[in-house]
Structure 1
Amino acid sequence: MSLCTTIVGLLLFLIVSPLLHSQLYIHAASTSSPITRHRIIFMTSLDSDDDYGDDYRDEDKPTTDIVSAKRITVVHTQPCKYNPCLENQEPCNKLAQQTGCLCPGFSGADVPPLPPRLQTLLPVSHGENRGKIEVKWCAPPSFVSHYRVTMEGNNGDALQFKSALRQGFIGSLEVGTRVCVEAVNGAGNSAFSEVSCQRYDPPNSSEHNLLGWILGGGVVLLLLIVVTSVILWKKKGCGRAKRDSTDGLGNPSYSTEGTL
């Protein structure tokens, strides 16, 4: 009886084991985690500051992420190679657009320009402009379409010069005449100021004044020497006369009673 039971148990085990194996396989397949593809990282810059820990924040996401590098803005701190007192230069605002350099507070065409700086007023002694006055100025940090030079007592007439120029020639002037330089654009004119106006004072007049002062000082010094010499001479003469009179009264051979 036990032998039959054993044989029946073996037969049941052989029949049930393939079904059990298939059920276990199906259950394992349904409970297994999905296949996750590896993430591909595209680097566009070596100096990116992205945290790589964020790339693995969601491991179940099967999509491909692209890590974008941060844009680095290069800030130029060098001033533009621009001298406002030299002629025929590229405007500073154009140099800034071309090279990214810095202009010192450059204002645009919609704002009246700042006053230019008048450098010198010098008479010309040779060349084709002999007898005229040379005017030199420096450009302001503003957009300028042209310059105007005005002279005091010239009934408002002004001479115009191109924006690239930094000097001009005007007619002869009297000493002390006020000369001003204006910067002009579409928004208006620059205001007159101490830096844009000067009084004409040629070097010759200054030299003549210096020579006059030197000659006057020499004459005064000579007069002082003469007066001092006269005073000393008179004082010395008075002292000698007094000494002679004292010597005469002290002579023992002289007496009011007669000769001894």
Structure 2
Amino acid sequence: SLCGNLAVLLLFLSPLMHSHLFARASTSSPSITRKKAINVEHFTIVNPNTDYDDFSIVHEVVPSAKSPRLNSEVVNTPCEYNSCLENQEPCEMIKAREGCLCPGVSDEDSPPHAPRIETLRPITTGENAGKIEVQWCAPDSVVSSYKVTVEGSGNDLEFGDGARRATVGSLEVGTKVCVEAINKAGHSSYSDFSCKRYERPESLELQLLAGVIGGGIVLILLLIIVAVVLCRRKMCQKAQRESGGGLGNPSYKSERAS
């Protein structure tokens, strides 16, 4: 009966002992370690010095130290555009091609600024000899055409936006010539630099005569200076001779006396 009781007791305790041993074995078994994975811009780095009981992936974005890209400095220089030249390439096209700066231009919905007359030049050769050529510079505005007005003539001459010169008839001295700029918003107003009075230039003969007179005056002054210098030199030499002759030779006189 004792053996039977022990057998029954072992049968009763065997499941408890089995579960206890299984739990102890499970707790005493080494834990599963996971390595920390760091994703650094398309590269995976495993840190072996850090253990984790639970598997986890940590994404850490580490910014790379890139050297800043040096942007080339664009030097803003004025475009090679001359507003006084005729039929040249528009400044906006030069700007688009070369990246330069154009002068500020007023809006096309505003009346243009006044152009500037450069000169009223008489024509001396060719079929237009005896006439006057008007030259002007374009304003910093949108211009569709130009109008040249001659005082007292009653005839206005119109030219395209690329024109910078016009030929008018012979003018009397003091005749006023004006140039207007026109666009769809209106026309420019007259100003001191968009109008100019014709003044007869000096002829070539007068310029040559003035040069000959000036050269003659300079030559006469040079001759006078040379004559004065020579006269003073001769006077000095004469004074030296007279002073030498008046004193004589004292040693010569003493020898004759003896």
Task: Give the corresponding residue for 1:168.
Answer: 166
Deviation at 1:60, TM superposition (A): 4.2
1:21-63: per-residue Cα shift (whole Å, max 9, x none)? 44x42xx55xx5753322249xxxxxxxxxxxxxxxxx94357
Q: Quick check: 1:148–1:181 contact (8 Å CA) kept in 2?
A: yes
Task: Give the corresponding residue for 2:126.
Answer: 127
Task: Give the corresponding residue for 2:180.
Answer: 182
Separation in structure 2 between the aligned mates of residue 15 and residue 97 of structure 1, nearest angstrom: 84
Deviation at 1:145, TM superposition (A): 1.3
Separation in structure 2 between the aligned mates of residue 158 and residue 70 of structure 1, nearest angstrom: 60
Deviation at 1:104, TM superposition (A): 2.3
Structure 1 or 2: larger strand share? Answer: 2
1:215-259: per-residue Cα shift (whole Å, max 9, x none)? xxxxxxxxxxxxxxxxxxxxxxxxxxxxxxxxxxxxxxxxxxxxx
Letter in 1 for 2:37: I
Task: Give the corresponding residue for 1:35.
Answer: 37
Separation in structure 1 between the aligned mates of residue 94 and residue 187 of structure 2, nearest angstrom: 24
1:135–1:33: structure 2 CA closer, same or farther, 3 Å change rule? same
Deviation at 1:67, TM superposition (A): 10
1:152–1:74: structure 2 CA closer, same or farther, 3 Å change rule? same
Matches within 5 A, 1:55-74: 60-61=58-59, 72=71
Separation in structure 1 between the aligned mates of residue 77 and residue 201 of structure 2, nearest angstrom: 39
Unaligned runs of 5+ in 1: 1-10, 42-58, 212-260
Separation in structure 2 between the aligned mates of residue 14 and residue 183 of structure 1, nearest angstrom: 109
Q: Quick check: 2:37–2:59 contact (8 Å CA) kept in 1?
A: no
How many residues get paired?
176
1:182-221: per-residue Cα shift (whole Å, max 9, x none)? 111122111111111001112148x98xx9xxxxxxxxxx
Task: Give the corresponding residue for 1:152.
Answer: 151
Task: Give the corresponding residue for 1:108.
Answer: 107
Q: Quick check: 1:93–1:106 contact (8 Å CA) kept in 2?
A: no
Q: Give the match's secondary structure for 1:37.
A: strand
Letter in 2 for 1:151: V
Separation in structure 1 between the aligned mates of residue 22 and residue 174 of structure 2, nearest angstrom: 130
2:27 aligned with 1:20: yes
Deviation at 1:89, TM superposition (A): 1.0
Q: Give the match's secondary structure for 1:94.
A: helix
Separation in structure 2 between the aligned mates of residue 117 and residue 202 of structure 1, nearest angstrom: 20
Q: Give the match's secondary structure for 1:183.
A: strand
Separation in structure 1 between the aligned mates of residue 58 and residue 70 of structure 2, nearest angstrom: 30
Q: Which moved more, 1:66-75 or 1:173-182?
A: 66-75
Instruction: Determine which of 186, 189, 192 is the counterpart of 1:191.
Output: 189
Q: Quick check: 1:40–1:66 contact (8 Å CA) kept in 2?
A: no
Matches within 5 A, 1:228-243: none
Separation in structure 1 between the aligned mates of residue 105 and residue 73 of structure 2, nearest angstrom: 21
Q: TM-score, normalised by structure 2?
A: 0.56
Q: Quick check: 1:40–1:64 contact (8 Å CA) kept in 2?
A: no
Separation in structure 1 between the aligned mates of residue 133 and residue 111 of structure 2, nearest angstrom: 26
